[in-house]
Structure 1
Amino acid sequence: MGPWTHIDWRHVIGDVNFGFGAHSDFMGMRGRVHDMQIDWFQRTIGDGEALEPDTGQVLLFVMGTNQWREETEWPLSRAVDTDFHLRADGRLTAEPPPVAEQAEEFTYDPLDPVPTTGGALLMTDDFRPGPLDQAAVETREDVLVFTTEPLTQDTEVTGRVRAVLFAATDGPSTDWVARLCDVDENGVSRNVTDGIVRVRAAAPGEAAEHVVDLWSTSIVFRAGHRIRLQVTSSNFPRWDRNLNTGEPEDSATTARVARQQIFHDPDRPSRIILPVVPPA
């Protein structure tokens, strides 16, 4: 598993240079990825006995340290699911809120959606994939941002990332988007991985628990960096807009503005769950 995008298997992806060893022709001096693919097919469906593999069952690229690493399993059993809680004033902390905190609110207008900025894209050249500066996204009023304090030590996150959002909308249907970002020592925020869930409201304005799957990643958040979570309701045109009306997506003709709420209190602990790998 490399840091690449679709087909583009070079070492510079988006705004980030992952080092020459990330290039698919070198793989940290392990050879070309195409040769590895051919070898895999020979082992699994080729004639004759399969050879013993030369590497572990999993070869993954750890962003941040920009190193390849062999593993014998996936997901990693030593990774510990660790909660980072949404808190007041845009904080993201290991501690859950001890008392009730005021819910965060924003307005989602499907006619003014959050523009796609980086990520796991397979789109036209107008939309660059990979990790990109999120400044233009994070200054929008319809994007909530929650950030940790600067990390005191390197923190590896490898595995499936999930966000648990206790959220409410005043319409019959809406989307919730969660995006994990790495904020460097200069304050530049770049996307790591993201996900979306489409929901129907039990009742307008009623809070419900929603789990957003952000897929898997492997990254070391370096000491001095900060972990950030964006929460919003659109990422267009990567994902179709929810028009907030509850109409069928393929025939909807009207759009409505929705009032969105994210709760973070002892009974409704919105959080992101990161699979943290303990130091060796």
Structure 2
Amino acid sequence: MNLLTVLRVRRLLPLLLVASRLAAQAPTAQDSVRMASYEPREVMIPMRDGVRLHTLIFTPKSQTGDLPIILNRTPYGIAGARASFGGSIAELADEGYVFVFQDIRGRFTSEGQFVMLRPPMHRKDPKAIDESTDTYDTIDWLLKNVPRNNGRVGMLGVSYPGWLTVMAMLDPHPALKAVSPQASPASMFLGDDFHHNGAFRLAYGFEYAAMMEGGKELTPFQFDKADAYSWYLGLGSLATVNDSVFKRSRPTWNDFAAHPNFDAFWQREALMQYLDRVTVPTLNVAGWWDQEDFYGPIKIYETLEPHDTKHLNYLVVGPWNHGGWRGRSGQTLGPLDFGSPTAKYYREKIEAPWFAYWLKDKGTLDLAEATTFEAGANAWRRHDAWPPKTNVTSRRLYFQANGKLGFEPPRDTGRVFDAYVSDPNKPVPYRARPIKPTFGAGSTWSTWLVDDQRFVQDRPDVAAWESAPLPEDLVLSGDVVAKLFAATTGTDADWVVKLIDVYPEDDAKLGGYQLMVANDVFRGRFRSSFEHPQAIAPDVPQEYTIDLHTQSYRFLKGHRLRVQVQSTWFPLIDRNPQTFVPNIFAAKDADFRAATQRVFRSKGAASYVQLTVQNPPLVP
């Protein structure tokens, strides 16, 4: 099974984890009644090439009129679909639909060959098949064979099923009237699961390959150390992985090692090239603290927006991790309490009315172009565009002398900088040690983005700048971008930038807590091109633009803003040798060398984080 295959399989795992958390909660009496109120029917639906796909159809036992169909296609298995009626789709089930769940081609008991993230077919080839044609053929069969349907179909899914929903949009069946791609990836090299800006996500990529290609069972990799950080560091160069661990038995790892740049292999799965029209009403959904696919849904919405001439493309972003809106409540994430059950609100007030409007002509569409949850204020906000185009101001948060951070530009001239020594043999951990495995019993991977960042504040290889306490609330409402002027004594470097909310020391619950609001990593070799990496000239300041994505967040009065910059983030991100080599997966241990990193803050080379600020802030 090659990497493209695994990428498609991988889309199941987050949903399995969400499902397991929901299953751990005993169903309520209402859940049990709801689950029992639908009658299942199992069928094999033929595709245009004769391949048959395993499908479960659930019809309300008390159906009194024609109903729309809601379709979910997945590579993760549909045997436990009934349980979702008591949890993740409860509000839709109460509204009343015919629900259809389908194993995609080549998965479980569906026939045919599975291809991970199967690229869309050539539109002029009538014999070609892809996920779009399989969806088309499925809908066509359902309309002809499911009694008392009203001729309309909706589709939704999270993660890989979200990507399948996007595929259905490309050349949709005329009966497909509403779709909701949720946490869909858009590029596995530029910003989603396996890489961010070309930097390899080591712990996730290694453990996913080990689990998915280790046999028929999904068995997490068994570490022989309690701290995964120590285990990964003990590997040495990634060139040793096949010799010491995988023995070349994991095709996915082999593909990682063979394609370290944004070549044709990665380009063919990047979604943006296919999104050249809006064909059906689309509700894009994302979570601000999605540890796997935040880049994807935002990029999909942004790419579709210039083609949205009929105002059919919408966005919802809430205070969730990956798939968190499908959980029972969504009121908390790690130590954060958002003051209300945000997941239930989304499903009840946004998702259910959305599908009822398009599939049943029910009610009016009282939905803003973009609906975001503003953490800090703990309030939902409505926008006529995202990022907002009105009542916002771009402000630069400059790095200043003595670790200060402020909105005043630097006045110093000359070679003024802050420096730290980055040693890839002593990398900065991405969370407090001991670090647990990404998958398996006891994993807390799903909440690491809200971890307290104080665990690195005294490390000499982490540079930090912090503001004075805010005299009033400061509200982010749009894009966040870091601009670094930096130099290295090496010939390659990673730059990790974090924007942090520092709680007051006297906060009753989270005194002194340092919460990441935005962050990302950029691999310096790709500063000019993701396709053609280049060595960095030593000791020469370079300008780096690092997209920290987008946010709707309120820094409260009395809180401080903090920016951290570091060059290792381990083992979330693999170690950059800091010596340029053509392929880091083939680096030798001797290539890993300490380097002095300088971040400039002079008048002519001012480093800063650019914020999009709501002006004036809305009432909390």
The answer to whether TM tops 0.5 is yes
Specify which of 76, 82, 103 is matched with residue 388 of structure 2.
76
Q: Distance in 1 between matches of 2:546 and 2:352?
A: 36
Letter in 2 for 1:70: R
Q: Distance in 1 between matches of 2:349 and 2:572?
A: 30
- Is residue 88 of structure 1 aligned with residue 401 of structure 2? yes
When residues 18 and 49 of structure 1 are mapped into structure 2, their CA distance, relative to the original with a 3 A threshold, is closer
Match of 2:348 in 1: 31
Deviation per CA, 1:35-90, whole angstroms, max 9, x where unpaired?
36x729x84xx6x9898522112110001001011112111012211101001111
What are the equivalent positions in structure 2 for 1:1-280 lying under 5 Å apart? Answer: 1-9=317-325, 10-22=330-342, 24-27=343-346, 31=348, 35=352, 39=355, 43=358, 53-78=365-390, 79-100=392-413, 102-117=416-431, 123-124=438-439, 125-127=443-445, 128-186=447-505, 187-200=512-525, 201-247=535-581, 248-254=583-589, 255-279=592-616, 280=618
Q: Distance in 2 between matches of 1:34 and 1:109?
A: 48
When you count strand as a share of all residues, which structure comes out higher?
1
In the alignment, is the contact (CA less than 8 A) between 1:11 and 1:17 conserved in 2?
Answer: yes
In the alignment, is the contact (CA less than 8 A) between 1:5 and 1:129 conserved in 2?
Answer: no
Q: What is the Cα deviation at residue 7 of structure 1? A: 2.2
Query: Identity of counterpart residues, as a percentage?
Result: 32
Letter in 1 for 2:318: G
Q: Distance in 2 between matches of 1:151 and 1:53?
A: 39
Deviation per CA, 1:157-192, whole angstroms, max 9, x where unpaired?
121111101000111111101000001111321111
Q: What is the Cα deviation at residue 12 of structure 1? A: 1.2
In the alignment, is the contact (CA less than 8 A) between 1:63 and 1:219 conserved in 2?
Answer: yes
- RMSD, aligned CA: 2.4
Q: Secondary structure at the match of 2:585?
A: coil
Q: Distance in 1 between matches of 2:560 and 2:348?
A: 34
Q: Distance in 2 between matches of 1:232 and 1:185?
A: 24
Q: Distance in 1 between matches of 2:450 and 2:549?
A: 15
Number of residues of Structure 1 aligned to a counterpart in Structure 2: 269
Q: Distance in 1 between matches of 2:588 and 2:365?
A: 55
Q: Distance in 1 between matches of 2:337 and 2:427?
A: 30
When residues 173 and 202 of structure 1 are mapped into structure 2, their CA distance, relative to the original with a 3 A threshold, is closer
Letter in 1 for 2:575: R
> Unpaired segments of 5 or more residues in structure 1?
none
Q: Secondary structure at the match of 1:25?
A: helix
Q: Secondary structure at the match of 2:455?
A: helix
Q: Distance in 2 between matches of 1:54 and 1:32?
A: 10
RCO comparison, higher one (Cα < 8 Å, 6+): 1
State which structure, 1 or 2, has the greater radius of gyration over its C-alpha atoms: 2
Q: What is the Cα deviation at residue 277 of structure 1? A: 0.7
